[in-house]
Amino acid sequence: MSNHIIDPTKWVDRYSDYLYNFTIVRVNDHEVAQDLISETFLAGLKSAKNFKGEASERTWLISILKRKIIDHYRKTNSNKGKAEVRMQYSSEDSEGDWLEERVKDPFDKTAEDTIENTELGDAIYNCLDLLPSKQSTIFKMKTIDNFDTEAICNEFNITPSNLWVIIHRARTSLATCLEKNWL
């Protein structure tokens, strides 16, 4: 088994968008999402010495982030948090050990993971279909097809701040839809 190495100097460039997209659908709050990602990077730095290289760097960071999200809900004492905490892990182990014992490499997908990801993908597209047409199109262009902000603004004759309001509303609607239909 090849050992992965970590390079914290590249984390922000490599993973911040991915971590943000992962977080925003779970917490539905831009500032909270950014805080959780910052906390994840800090925790990763602190426990870097515990990284054994058995999981990929991104998988390792996601596992820290999942724990941060659970902690966030535990602190806010919400119902969603209580449900998450029921499947929580013992907090005595150091973060690094906890992570690698419980994390599988994303390239080692089990059939169940593959089915679950397919179901999630279908659920996302079903929820996207329920959005207003313009909102859905703009959301797909920005988040799925990675169109440039300026290109989208020109095509729809909107300002960048309009674009971000539309994206935010789409994310909020998607998160609500996914909570009802998939989570």
159-178 pLDDT per residue, tens = 988 988 898 898 888 888 88
Do residues 99 and 44 touch, judged by C-beta distance below 8 A? Answer: no
Cα dist. 44→11, 57, 62, 67, 99 in Å?
10, 10, 10, 12, 10
| Residue from 162, 160, 118, 163 nearest 139 by CA | 163
Q: What is the mean pLDDT of the chain?
A: 76
CA 14 to chain centre: 14
| Residue from 161, 142, 160 nearest 150 by CA | 160
Is 115-183 the same fold as 1-78? Answer: no
45-79 pLDDT per residue, tens = 888 888 888 888 888 898 899 888 888 887 776 55
| CATH entry, 115-183, from 1.10.10.10, 3.40.50.300, 1.10.3720.10, 3.30.70.940 | 1.10.10.10
Write down the domain spans for the chain: 1-78, 115-183
Return the CATH class of domain 1-78.
mainly alpha
